[in-house]
């Protein structure tokens, strides 16, 4: 599923690297615990989280995650956005909570990790 399609499904805002919205992901991982992301994330995954911390970007970088969706209307700091731009990482946010976001993506064909 393309990141552009995910933006439509979740009525999301693109915050960084809009030029990479054509990238595809094959699954999603939802967690506010970066230790769980490290343990369970797979290739070509979208990370959904409500955690607003630079560690989210660093964890995603370690796992080669190319896109992060911040849920519950959370917005990353300008420093996080700048770091994501530098790394070519798409950042988006949605007003939906994690549970609803995950359900909407799953019901539209995106599998989990």
65 φ/ψ angles, rounded to the nearest 5 degrees? -80, 125
Q: How far, rounded to the nearest angstrom, does the alpha carbon of residue 30 sit from its chain's CA centroid?
A: 9
Residue 61: pLDDT over 70 = yes
- Distance from C-alpha of 111 to C-alpha of 16, rounded to nearest angstrom: 24
Strands 13-16, 27-30: pairing is: unpaired
Residue 113: pLDDT over 70 = no
Cβ contacts of 113 within 8 Å, gap of 6 or more? 27, 28, 29, 40, 41, 42, 45
* Residue range of the domain that includes 61: 3-112
Number of separate domains in the chain: 1
Give the domain CATH number at 101. Answer: 3.40.1390.20
Segment 5-27, tens digit of pLDDT: 999 999 999 999 999 999 999 99
């Amino acid at each position: 599923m393309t990141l552009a399609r995910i933006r439509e499904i979740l009525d999301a805002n693109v915050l960084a690297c809009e030029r990479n919205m054509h990238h595809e992901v094959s699954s999603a991982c939802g967690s506010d615990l970066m230790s769980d992301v490290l343990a369970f994330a797979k290739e070509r995954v979208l990370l959904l989280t409500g955690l607003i911390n630079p560690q989210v970007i660093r964890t995603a970088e370690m796992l080669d995650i190319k896109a992060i969706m911040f849920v519950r209307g959370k917005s990353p700091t300008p420093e996080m956005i700048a770091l994501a731009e530098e790394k070519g990482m798409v950042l988006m946010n949605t007003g939906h909570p994690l549970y609803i976001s995950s359900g909407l993506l799953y019901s539209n064909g995106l599998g989990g990790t």
